[in-house]
């Protein structure tokens, strides 16, 4: 225990840090050269936060080889020295007593038995060698960039196998298809600075007050200074964000498409769209006649106008349930050239059976109104994981992608990557692999019935809890003896419960890492503490597997010159045997892999900064290019001449990866369509799933913090008190929720935080003992292949 | 037993006396000097659950607009779990 004096000392240090933050907020010089945290006598090092995609930078205080304190990094532009409530817990996630510490192989009796790392790597390599084409790699938006790059190289450059996916398919794939089909290239043009300049902030089905609190705090800070920032919450249930909103627009699920079309119609039919912007920088596009695809077909303005015609305020009001006055207000805001509008969205728009469409439509109303390319005017998607952008999207660990925003289907992209990887021409498989739902469905299908994925390795994610329709996409594996599941994780999970081989992984600052956040910012950190037991970094695991495959004679593990495809060299050019864990830290493997990856980012102008530049900073937003003085400069606003070095002089705005090769973005028309599983007489409720404040995603880390586990130990079902009353349900009653895929029993919560409207249910997905994803729908957006976790039909009754 | 540095954003800068009194009614906080609308405080709580509860109580004080966490020290205490979740059993069974 600490002495009283030490506690007083720490309290003083905490007050000094907070006072310094107050001074900074007030625009005065901080009280000290640092935020006071060094007073506590700890060794402080930088790292991005391990939780969400905001990308806050923290200072980690180390004492006696353990994390003793966390502070917001005062030089971090993202969070400016501040943290959200997750700061109370980020240090604790490493120290759960049930950390996995030894590789374990399931024996014939179904028991996991300790084995050595050498045995584990041999088991994996033998499985791959047996049927390389039936092997799949399932990773994460929590993979570091070097981890993702190593896995990507093993699969696509080594095994000629595109069956690699990140869990980001379940959360961000629709944002990708929205950006690509609109601008020709993925990821937001704007950045968090837009929040400092907008007059209106529209949250489209997302809840930044709880899920991205530091960003929300920036807006609240402006309000506290007396600035007017109008906050509009367009959602299907009330959240904490609603409490701060000037307008809560409670719409019927799925009708967000109609709302966006209604705004576009108003702009066009009242001639209040930004003609100059549209004529200079935009084309129009619609879905192909007989289906849906990524690029659609060109249309002209007259056709666009005609397609929008049905979406009058009256029609949209009836469809969406929004009062006409609220719709009119939205229309008027976009029609007003003086209003700077930033739109934010996350899972509410992305987990949607018409997710690509709604992403396109929100981009479209920004383009149509000219609310683009100026600080404060931006359509910006947020990510839920710390490196969904960095590792899933930029490294391209999706089954159709190559590093740097390139595609396996494009011959010139394959040729470009084959040169960079120095592998023989034709090595990269041109056919996209299986997307997430397809990959897991095939893994869970008997081999003789077409289940042609036989082995999956999972790193840094928990599909046994997060896949939709779990009985079909995950739990069916249990009865398939010839299927083999390998899981690397830090704690036991619903996924390790079915694993044949469990690998103990190092977590966060127990290893080196690089993340990429929601605003194109790449952030680096160094290993600060030792992992427990035999836990090791995922990068090492992948290198060891690849090298064992090389030893077993897999030809793909050699490049054109006969060298190991994942070789790492020291400054003298000598290969370092980093696949042997005794030598893994002889060199900074992260730096070596990141520098191998970096040239891939140039073709699509996503130039990430050199690793050593990242070491000096709390993150840099790409594209990062050297100026005439040799200094590396980041880019805040893409495609805008005043900020983006790749925009030609005099162009003002240039979409230099335009899908129509004319430097223009695409304004899409996509119609409203009913959801494939609307409530009906048998299943009269909408069921929505999501997160809660206490737990991050599946609770793998936060359930190990006892205070959080105690605060929110079990899931529940929020429902409207009037619905509850009609069904004779009172607060706390056990109720059975049923969908066409199954049922679970959970307590009812009638006065909960979200206060769903009548006819709606909300159930969090963090509870591994009550898997709500056994009930969710595995229907997905046909373009992004991202499932809809926010909507399916359900019924309830008292248990 | 985390010791947290917090930054409280006040809705109005004028009512510091009432707000300070309300804070001290809830907890034994060290309160720093107000900088315009921003009030720094340091609090010592028994565990991170209490810290979170306190966070919500402070946020509910009339006139408090928002609270950011600046630092959290866990020193001398385990910042983490005493045990695992039900998943521990799931994997080992």
Full 3-state SS string of A636-668: CCCCECCCCCCCCCCCCECCCCCCCCCCCEEEE
Question: In what side-by-side order are the strands of the sheet with A135-139?
Answer: A112-114, A104-106, A501-504, A484-489, A455-459, A135-139, A164-166
pLDDT at A518 over 50: yes
The pLDDT score that the predictor gives to residue B2 is 85
Provide the number of structural domains found in chain A: 4
Q: What is the CA radius of gyration of chain A?
A: 26
pLDDT at B87 over 90: no
Tell me the range of A79-93, A427-441, B26-40 where mean pLDDT is highest: A427-441
Domain boundary among A576, A601, A626: A601
The pLDDT score that the predictor gives to residue A755 is 78
- Give B14's contacts (C-beta < 8 A, 6+ positions apart): none
Return d(Cα A655, Cα A170) in angstroms, integer: 28
Q: Which member of A1, A12, A96 has the closest CB to residue B81?
A: A96
pLDDT at B93 over 50: no
> For residue A183, which of A450, A373, A392, A390 has the smallest C-alpha distance?
A373
* Domain that residue A43 falls in: 4-95
Output the domain CATH number for residue A727: 2.40.40.20
Residue A44 pLDDT class (50, 70, 90 cuts): very high
Q: Do A61 and B73 touch (CB under 8 A)?
A: yes
Return d(Cα A654, Cα A651) in angstroms, integer: 6
Residue A786 within a domain: no
Residue A406's H or E segment, with its range, is: strand A406-407
Residue extents of the structural domains in chain B: 3-75
Residue of A543 and B53 predicted with greater confidence: A543
Three-class DSSP labels, A667-705: EEECCCCCCCCCCCCCCCEEEEEECECCECCCCCCHHHC
Check: CB of residue A514 under 8 Å from CB of residue A523: yes
The pLDDT score that the predictor gives to residue A694 is 66
Mean pLDDT estimate for chain A = 94
pLDDT at A354 over 70: yes
Residues A82 and A8 occupy one common structural domain: yes
Q: A-B interface: how many C-beta pairs under 8 angstroms?
A: 250
Q: Residues A552-607: pLDDT tens digits?
A: 999 999 999 999 999 999 999 999 999 999 999 999 999 999 999 999 999 999 99
Chain B residue numbers with beta carbons less than 8 Å from the beta carbon of A509 are none
Q: What is the mean pLDDT of residues A694-714?
A: 72
Q: Do A17 and B10 touch (CB under 8 A)?
A: no
The pLDDT score that the predictor gives to residue B83 is 43
Residue of A33 and A715 predicted with greater confidence: A715
CATH architecture of the domain formed by B3-75: 2-Layer Sandwich (3.30)
Residues A61 and A124 occupy one common structural domain: no
Residues A416 and A344 occupy one common structural domain: no
Catalytic center residues of A: 86, 171-172, 347, 384-385
Q: Do A22 and B3 touch (CB under 8 A)?
A: no
Q: What is the mean pLDDT of residues A612-621?
A: 97
Peptide bond into A764 cis (omega under 30): no
Least confident piece of the model among A312-316, B29-33, B62-66:
B62-66
pLDDT at A532 over 50: yes
Give the minimum alpha-carbon distance from B63 to chain A in angstroms, rounded to a whole number: 11
Q: Which member of A35, A67, A97 has the closest CB to residue B83?
A: A97
The pLDDT score that the predictor gives to residue A39 is 52
Residue A21 pLDDT class (50, 70, 90 cuts): very high
Residue A544 within a domain: yes
Q: Do B42 and A18 touch (CB under 8 A)?
A: yes
Q: What is the mean pLDDT of residues A73-81?
A: 93
pLDDT at A33 over 90: no
Q: Residues A237-258: pLDDT tens digits?
A: 999 899 999 999 999 999 999 9
Residue A671 within a domain: no
> For residue A698, which of A463, A439, A472 has the smallest C-alpha distance?
A463
Residue A793 within a domain: no
Q: Do A83 and B36 touch (CB under 8 A)?
A: no
- What is the token pair recorded at A416? 């470009």
Q: Which member of A1, A97, A769 has the closest CB to residue B82?
A: A97
Residue A28 pLDDT class (50, 70, 90 cuts): confident
Give the minimum alpha-carbon distance from A101 to chain B in angstroms, rounded to a whole number: 13
The pLDDT score that the predictor gives to residue A29 is 63
Buried b (16+ CB within 10 A) or exposed e, A162-177: bbbbbbbbbbbbbbbb
Least confident piece of the model among A37-51, A601-615, A643-657, A714-728:
A37-51
Residues A218 and A352 occupy one common structural domain: yes
Residue A495 pLDDT class (50, 70, 90 cuts): very high
Q: Do A21 and B32 touch (CB under 8 A)?
A: no
ipTM of the complex: 0.90
Q: Which member of B47, B73, B80 has the closest CB to residue A704?
A: B80
Check: CB of residue A343 under 8 Å from CB of residue A380: yes
The pLDDT score that the predictor gives to residue A2 is 61
Check: CB of residue A292 under 8 Å from CB of residue A329: no
Residues A284 and A315 occupy one common structural domain: yes
Output the domain CATH number for residue A148: 3.40.50.740
Q: What is the mean pLDDT of residues A225-241?
A: 94
The pLDDT score that the predictor gives to residue A557 is 98
Q: Residues A406-444: pLDDT tens digits?
A: 999 999 999 999 999 999 999 999 999 999 999 999 999
Residues of chain A above pLDDT 90, percent: 86
**Which chain B residue shows the shortest CA-CA distance from A69?**
B73
| Per-residue CA distances from A510 to A346, A516, A575, A585 (Å) | 29, 18, 25, 12
pLDDT at A687 over 80: yes
Residues A695 and A589 occupy one common structural domain: no
Neighbours of A738 (CB within 10 A): 20
Q: What is the mean pLDDT of residues A519-546?
A: 98
Residues A376 and A392 occupy one common structural domain: no
| Per-residue CA distances from A442 to A124, A437, A470, B41 (Å) | 19, 9, 13, 55
Q: What is the CA radius of gyration of chain B?
A: 17
Return d(Cα A187, Cα A518) in angstroms, integer: 8
Residues A564 and A596 occupy one common structural domain: yes
- What is the token pair recorded at B10? 């006040």
Cα B38–B35–B6 angle (5° rounding)? 40
Residues A552 and A471 occupy one common structural domain: yes
The pLDDT score that the predictor gives to residue A101 is 98
Return d(Cα A363, Cα A357) in angstroms, integer: 10
Residues A493 and A523 occupy one common structural domain: yes
Residue A628 within a domain: no
Block residue for tokens 């599983």: A677
Residues A396 and A367 occupy one common structural domain: no
Return d(Cα A120, Cα A126) in angstroms, integer: 10
Chain A residue numbers with beta carbons less than 8 Å from the beta carbon of B40 are 15, 18-19, 21-22
Alpha helices, DSSP H, located in A270-350: 275-281, 301-308, 313-320, 324-335, 347-350
pLDDT at A704 over 50: yes
Return d(Cα A523, Cα A546) in angstroms, integer: 27
Residues A445 and A476 occupy one common structural domain: yes
Return d(Cα A570, Cα A576) in angstroms, integer: 7
The pLDDT score that the predictor gives to residue B90 is 39
């Amino acid at each position: 225990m600490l002495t009283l004096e030490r506690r007083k000392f720490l309290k003083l240090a905490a007050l000094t840090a907070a006072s310094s933050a107050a001074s900074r907020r007030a625009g005065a010089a901080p009280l000290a050269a640092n935020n006071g945290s060094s007073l506590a006598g700890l060794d402080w090092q930088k790292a991005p936060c391990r939780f969400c995609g905001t990308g806050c930078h923290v200072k980690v205080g180390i004492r006696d080889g353990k994390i003793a304190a966390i502070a917001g990094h005062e030089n971090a532009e993202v969070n400016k020295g501040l943290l959200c409530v997750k700061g109370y817990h980020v240090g604790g996630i490493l120290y759960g007593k049930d950390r996995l510490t030894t590789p374990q192989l399931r024996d014939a009796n179904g028991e996991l038995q300790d084995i050595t790392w050498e045995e584990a790597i041999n088991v994996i390599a033998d499985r791959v060698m047996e049927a390389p084409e039936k092997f799949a790699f399932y990773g994460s938006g929590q993979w570091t960039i070097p981890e993702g790059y190593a896995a990507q190289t093993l699969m696509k450059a080594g095994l000629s196998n595109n069956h690699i996916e990140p869990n980001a398919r379940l959360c961000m794939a629709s944002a990708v298809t929205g950006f690509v089909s609109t601008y020709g290239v993925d990821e937001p043009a704007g950045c968090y600075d837009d929040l400092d300049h907008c007059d209106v902030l529209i949250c489209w089905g997302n809840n930044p007050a709880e899920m991205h609190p530091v960003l929300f705090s920036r807006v609240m800070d402006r309000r506290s200074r007396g600035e007017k920032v109008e906050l509009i919450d367009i959602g299907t249930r009330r959240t904490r964000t609603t409490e701060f909103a000037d307008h809560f627009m409670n719409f019927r699920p799925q009708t967000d498409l109609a709302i966006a079309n209604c705004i576009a119609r108003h702009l066009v039919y009242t001639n209040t769209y930004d003609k100059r912007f549209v004529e200079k920088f935009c084309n129009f596009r619609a879905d192909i006649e007989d289906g849906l695809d990524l690029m659609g077909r060109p249309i002209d303005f007259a056709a666009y106008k005609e397609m929008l015609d049905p979406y009058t305020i009256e029609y949209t009001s009836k469809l969406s349930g929004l009062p006409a006055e609220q719709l009119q207000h939205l229309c008027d805001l976009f029609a007003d050239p003086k209003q700077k509008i930033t739109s934010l969205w996350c899972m509410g728009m992305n987990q949607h059976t018409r997710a690509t469409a709604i992403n396109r439509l929100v981009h479209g109303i920004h383009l149509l109104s000219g609310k683009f390319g100026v600080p404060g005017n931006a359509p910006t998607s947020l990510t839920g994981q710390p490196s969904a952008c960095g590792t899933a999207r930029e490294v391209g660990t999706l089954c159709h992608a190559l590093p740097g925003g390139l595609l396996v289907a494009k011959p010139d992209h394959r040729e470009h990557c084959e040169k960079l990887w120095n592998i023989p021409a034709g090595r990269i498989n041109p056919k996209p692999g299986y997307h997430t739902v397809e990959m897991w469905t095939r893994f869970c299908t008997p081999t003789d019935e077409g289940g042609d994925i036989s082995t999956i390795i999972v790193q840094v994610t928990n599909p046994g809890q997060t896949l939709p329709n779990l009985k079909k996409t995950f739990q069916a594996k249990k009865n398939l003896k010839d299927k083999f599941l390998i899981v690397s994780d830090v704690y036991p999970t619903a996924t390790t419960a079915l694993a044949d081989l469990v690998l103990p992984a190092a977590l966060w600052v127990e290893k080196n890492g690089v993340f990429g956040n929601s605003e194109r910012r790449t952030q680096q950190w160094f290993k600060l503490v030792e992992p427990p037991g035999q836990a090791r970094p995922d990068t090492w695991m992948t290198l060891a597997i690849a090298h064992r495959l090389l030893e077993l004679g897999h030809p793909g593990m050699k490049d054109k010159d006969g060298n190991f495809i994942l070789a790492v060299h020291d400054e003298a050019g000598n290969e370092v045997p980093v696949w042997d864990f005794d030598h893994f830290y002889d060199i900074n493997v992260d730096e070596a892999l990141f520098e191998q990856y970096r040239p891939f980012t140039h073709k699509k102008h996503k130039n990430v900064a050199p690793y050593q530049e990242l070491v000096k900073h709390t993150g840099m937003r790409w594209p990062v290019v050297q100026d005439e003085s040799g200094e590396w400069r980041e880019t805040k606003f893409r495609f805008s001449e005043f900020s983006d070095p790749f925009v030609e002089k005099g162009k003002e705005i240039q979409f230099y990866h335009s899908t129509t090769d004319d430097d223009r973005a695409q304004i899409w028309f996509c119609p409203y369509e009913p959801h494939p599983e609307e409530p009906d007489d048998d299943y009269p409720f909408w069921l929505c799933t999501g997160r809660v404040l206490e737990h991050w995603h599946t609770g793998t880390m936060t359930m190990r913090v006892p205070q959080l586990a105690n605060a929110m130990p079990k899931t529940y079902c929020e429902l409207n008190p009037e619905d509850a009353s009609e069904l004779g349900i009172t607060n706390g009653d056990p109720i059975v929720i049923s969908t066409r895929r199954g049922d679970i029993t959970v307590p009812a919560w009638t006065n909960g935080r979200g206060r769903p409207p009548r006819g709606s249910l909300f159930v969090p997905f963090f509870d591994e003992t009550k898997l709500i994803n056994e009930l969710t729908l595995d229907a997905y957006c046909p373009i992004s292949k991202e499932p809809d976790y926010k909507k399916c039909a359900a019924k309830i009754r008292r248990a | 037993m985390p010791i947290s540095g917090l930054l409280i954003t006040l809705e109005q800068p004028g009512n510091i006396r009432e707000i300070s009194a309300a804070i001290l009614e809830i907890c034994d906080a060290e309160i720093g000097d107000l900088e315009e609308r921003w009030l720094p405080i340091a609090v010592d709580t028994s565990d991170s659950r209490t810290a979170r509860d306190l966070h919500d109580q402070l946020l509910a004080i009339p006139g408090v607009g928002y609270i950011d966490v600046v630092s959290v020290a866990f020193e001398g205490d385990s910042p983490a779990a005493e045990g695992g979740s039900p998943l521990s059993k799931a994997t080992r069974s």
